[in-house]
Amino acid sequence: MSVDPLAGKPAPPEKLINLADLVSDYYTGEATAPVAFGTSGHRGSAFKGSFNEAHVAAVTRATVEYRTGDGRGGPLFLGRDTHALSEPAFRTALEVLAAAEVPVVVSLNREYAPTPVVSFLILEHNRRHPSGQADGLIVTPSHNPPQDGGLKYNPPHGGPADVAVTDWIQNRANEILRSGETVARLRYERALKAPCVTARDFVAPFVEALGEVVDLAAVKNSGLKIGVDPLGGSGVNYWAPIAERWGLDLTVVNKRVDPGFSFMTLDRDGVIRMDCSSPYAMASLIKIAGDYDLAFGNDPDYDRHGIVSGGGLMNPNHYLATAVNYLLGHRPDWRTDVRVGKTLVSSVLIDRVVAGAGRVLYETPVGFKWFVPGLLDGTLAFGGEESAGASFLRRDGSTWTTDKCGFCMTLLAAEMTARTGRLPHEIFKGLSEKYGATDYTRIDSDLTERSKKALAALDPAKLPGLAMAGQKVAGAWTKAPGNDAPVGGLKVGLADGSWFAMRPSGTEPKMKLYAESLGGPEQLDEMIKSARELVSES
């Protein structure tokens, strides 16, 4: 995929969305597209008729019916990020929940509520109140462009809902949309004052508990100078309390919250996208990273992390391998039989780090939901995705969050620097010298019906033994080795350990091609060519 000439540069006026038109379309536009849950909730745009008031009301009502049918009596934590559509969608959801007399907990003083915070609050409540289980709704399209909106449901386990749950909510929501069924609502001003709605401080308990996950005392004592770019996201007002409580020399380099994200530099394809794993989207922080010992950023709902170390943005896979290596060597209270989770499109270096530590790997399809049970019962020490999302256990081996946590992953970079005296990119250099260097890429292209059908038609049984990129195909999989779950695409492994995979995105209309070569950049290029030919010839 070519790089747009404007990539990494400030967004020009013509790239900015008309916020007034977007919000107007949310309230007045037709729901021309159905509700469709991907890997992390329903996402769409009011401009396209795929995310508006009718969608949010229907999904919220379906969620109410699901939790009622499941005998849920505890509170529902309602969170949101800073996207333009998140505020009106938050209001719609609260109106429906209040009308149904669902006990709702919102953040005090209308503070934003990031994904990991909602997961943490659900788990904390359920640990103390086993008979009145809580769950949550989070209004966010994650790192998606400013015109998008999103809504996702986290059951009592605190993590992303599994397919059985999301299918039920999706089907019921679409039934409501098709039938034109009226969804009962309480006007927003009345909903805020309804007896079933409570405002609570989300910030203080989360900030306090962070010290149980990351050794923040070590970070304080190291004197590290840290720079943080919240990318205008929902965690923007969490960093000052974190710095104050734990005595960190931490500066928030950009405190702006703009629902149009006009301050962003454009992503690789010339689109405003708050992807903290992209050097183009993170260009502003990278530019000033030299003013700090370590710098990092997060996406709008704070379930992803981006680590700037040594003046450059670390490849997400490199940081995941570095984090796993560090945690397995610096968490003496973790059980020795805990496994390490990764998605099958994450780097093979993670496999080697885990094996080198004498631990067991758990490899799954894309989607953090696969890590939830293990993180919940403490049998999974870490769960990570190549797209820069991960979480791990507290230092004592108990559960932290069962959804991705950008806070703990970024602060872990500070802990490992404080305790080893080396920056994350320096630690990774040692790992690559020990386990071998790789070249990794992910290429997103437009998803067409032809390419989708061509991928689905591939027969993995016919691929082993074929020659690709100078190697024999050693195996091909449509199911993950860790749990035998369908991967939604195809992964092909070569004889030397190199691999590539293709799958439709679960969050955007994109075809994703992943490839990792152990034979250098030229082999990587050949693998990409082979992957594309494989689809075009099918």
Instruction: Output the six-digit token pair for 23.
Output: 């919000």
Question: Angle at CA 126, nearest 5°, toward 241 and 412?
Answer: 40
Task: Pull the structure tokens for residue 178.
Answer: 């098709």
The residue type found at 427 is: I
Alpha helices in 100-233 (DSSP H): 115-128, 163-179, 188-193, 203-209, 216-222
Is the separation of the CB atoms in 107 and 386 below 8 Å? no
* Angle subtended at Cα 109 by Cα 108 and Cα 110, rounded to the nearest 5 degrees: 90
Q: How many CA atoms lie within 13 A of 27 on its CB side?
A: 11
Catalytically annotated residue among 45, 50, 86, 142 = 142
How far apart CA 157 and CA 56 sit, in angstroms, is 23
φ, ψ for residue 270 (rounded to 5)? Answer: 80, 20
What is the b/e burial string over 301-310, where b = at least 16 CB atoms within 10 angstroms of the residue's CB? bbbbbbbbbe
CB 390 within 8 A of CB 384: yes
Q: Are 362 and 340 in contact (CB under 8 A)?
A: yes
Task: Please indicate whether residue 142 is annotated as part of the active site.
Answer: yes
Angle at 136 between CA 135 and CA 139, to 5 degrees: 170
* Phi, psi for residue 493 in degrees, rounded to 5: -105, 135
471-479 sheet: strands from edge to edge: 439-446, 510-517, 499-504, 486-494, 471-479, 467-468
3-state secondary structure of 444: strand
Structure tokens at 277: 């794993």
Residue 199: strand pairing partners: 106
Alpha carbon distance 234, 79 (integer Å): 9
Tokens of 208: 């306090």
10 Å CB burial of residue 142 (0-12, 13-18, 19+) is buried
Residues 11 and 262: beta-carbon distance below 8 Å: yes
Q: Could you tell me if residue 125 is left (phi over 0), alpha (psi between -120 and 50 degrees) or otherwise beta?
A: alpha
Closest by alpha carbon to 239, among 112, 80, 107?
A: 112
**Which of 39, 35, 152 lies closest to 86, judged by CA?**
152
Q: Which residues are catalytic?
A: 142
